[in-house]
Structure formats: C-alpha cells, structure tokens
Structure 1
Amino acid sequence: MIKSEDSTSVVRLSNVSKIFGANENKTVALQNVSLDASSGELLLVLGPSGSGKTTLLTLIAGLLKSTSGTISLFGKNIESYSAKELQQIRAKRIGFIFQTFLLIDSLTVQENVGVVLRFAGETKKEANRQALLLLEQFHVEHLAKKFPRTLSQGEKQRVAVARAIANEGDLIIADEPTGCLESRQGFEIIQLLKSYSRDQNRCVIVASHDLRIGEFAKRILRIEDGMLLS
C-alpha cells in the first residue's frame, strides 16, 4: 500500500478494482489500487486522460461501488454506510470541484455557493451570509449577483473552489481543477487548495494530467491504465 506520512487516514483503499461491463465488453477501469490519504495533505493523482483518475475519485466519494477490494472513508468501510449516511457525508464533509465547474446557470454566484450550505442545514439567510464571506476570501465578491454564464473561466473556477470548501469539509475531491485554465490561473487555484489543506488541516485529493502542478502537492501518485505506478 502507498501510505501517507500522517497516520490519520481520511481515505484508504486496499486492492480496489473497478470493472465495467462483462465478457467481451469488459473494461477494467481500476486494477488493485491501494492508497492512503490523510488530513493536512494535498495528494496529486497524476495520469493521462482515460487512466482511471475520475473513476478513482468517484469510488472515493461513494458514487460508485468497487468490483473488489475495500474502501475506508473517515475510518469506516464505505459499504457499511447507508445511502442516506453517504448522502449526508457528501453534503457536510466532502467538497467537490469538477473540470466543467457544474455551476447552476439559474442561480447567482452567491446562490451557487450558498446552496451547498443549504444542503448542510443552514438557513437561507445564513447560507447567503457565509457565501458572501467566502466570495470575499477568493476576491470575487463583486460577482455575487452575477450568473455563471457571464463569468470567465477563471472566475468560474474560483467560484467552484469557494463552493467546494463552503461546508468546511474534511475532504476535497478535485477532478482536473486546472484543466480549462491558463497556467497562471491554474497555479492560483492549486495554491488556494494547498493553503486550505495546510491551514485547515484538510485532505485534498486532486486528479490531473498536468505535471506542472506537482510542486504544490505533498505527494504524487502516478496512474496509468487503471494501475498505480510504483
């Protein structure tokens, strides 16, 4: 198993495989993957498109079930959580950043950030208040009343990061967070995630094909054809 330096594991995978389809239509997306990710670190999973990065993140979030192996999330086998418990964990303890942002076009920027807090149980008034504070933290408070379609790629990504950490989750899962950005913007986003991980003692797992952001990671795991490389 590829272990982190910290013994406080947020995520642990042991010999995890994921197979889609069967027989001649079978696709092995992940094969015998073992890893350990802890609080206070930014872990970079580095690999080309189609290497299994997104499947790995989806399994960690409990949005897919593994074909074999075990996944522990917050110290408990992920299969022992009920569907409702996993839903609550995703709402309150995990933040997500997607390559395509997935901002809701019909909501303002402030509402996009606030909706995460609403799911976590905050009132609308409190969610809006906290959302504005987060936007100020990322220097995009002037965008609060704008809609996603009017934003630049860099602005959308900053909003997406603000939304991901809105619930102060113990785990941030980021799938190609710099994929749509220029180098400078991408470095800014990764630096924000690194600071969050370090300053708030949170676990951040980033999947990317971009070797340039490796300098911001505490550890780098390389993945190819569904397997972690030693």
Structure 2
Amino acid sequence: MIENFQRPSKEFDLGGVVPWGRRFDEYELFFALDDVPPGVAILDAGGGPASFAVEAAARGFEVTAADPIYALDGETIRQRFEETAVAMRAGMRAAAYRFKWNFYGSEERVHRRRRDALEMFLPDYERRRSRRYVPASLPALPFGDGAFDLALSSHFLFLYGDDLDGAFHIAAMRELMRVAREVRVFPLINLDGRPSSHLPVVIRDLEKDGFEPELVPVPFEFQIGATRMLRVRRPAGSG
C-alpha cells in the first residue's frame, strides 16, 4: 500500500491526453526490453512525439508508431508540444514530492529530454510519415490480427484514468491483444500518483478472455510507486 498517495492531487492540469514523447533508453527501462531481440515487429501505441521509433530502427528493431496526432503536420505537433511543456513543467514543479529524481536529476532535465526526443522525432516524421507513423487511436487500430510481435503503451493507458474510463481500457487492451502477440503497458498509476482503479478490472477481463496478464517489476521509478508494468501474453500454443 502506498499510503501517501491517498489524498487527491491536481498539480497536473493538462486538459486531457497531451503530446510528451520519450527516448529509447527510457522505453528500455519502462518495458524491460532487454529480453526483446532486434528484428521483432513492435507497435508503439500512443507514441506521440517520441523518438523511440527512430532510435529503435537504428538498433535493428521494426517499429510502427500509432497516434491520432500523426494526422497533424510537424509544425502543428511542435506547437502542441510547446503548449504541453508549460503545463507539464508547472505540474512537475508543484508535485516534485511525488517523484524520484535519481534518473532525470531535475524538472529541467526532464524537459530537455522531452525536447531532445521531439527534435529527433520531427525529421524522421517528415521523412517516414507514410510508413512508420500511422494516424490511429485506440480502441480501433488499422492493423491486421497478429500484425506485431509486441505492442507497447507508454504513459497513456492507466495514467489518464480520470479521462479514460474502465470500458475504454478494456476495449483498448483487447484491441492491442488482437494486433500483437504480447502487450506491455507502463505506468500503472494515475497522473495524481494513485494506483489505477481500472487495473484490477482490466486484469480480470483479460483472464476471462483467456489471456495471461502479469505485473512485472521494471528497473525504473520516476513517479513514486510506478515500478511495475503490465505484461499480457497469449497462452502457449495459441495463435
């Protein structure tokens, strides 16, 4: 139990899901990717302006990113990022007590990393927009059944639990399991630092559908208490 997370907190006034991309080395830690060999087909669901796809490609991974923001041009995405940065930085400063700063060091360095991700993402987005970046949103993805070996959801599902209800989470996880043989989701707590109330319901639903969900420790903690990912697999021998 994480007792200091019991009181409500509204330091992050973001007005919904916002573009705030991350780097490959962060994804490695979020999702414990050390067991994923190059060459596997990966879906970054809700990737936003992350540099994961372009950095992963340089390491031999086949990554497709899907996000509704990819319907926008690069300059508009940059403008959205700048608007997000103001609110996100204010939130991190107000809620500094709810984070462990050993990986990033400071709010300023978090912002610098997000900006670095954006600057790597945008040129690749302009060059490979029609191939690597697909304008699509959960819970309906334009991919065939089993199109990917692994689907990742970073800082979207469960994090925005106040904006996305339980039914959305169930539908989204079912869709991710339709298009991928394995799904990994991080983090599993809300923006206000509380464990997601949707997680137990989602796990029960996945088990009912015959999938194998498990909570797996990861070598990363920024939001205090966010130390596990949800990993969901199909039973051995299933399609």
TM-score by length of 1: 0.34
Structure with greater proportional strand content:
1
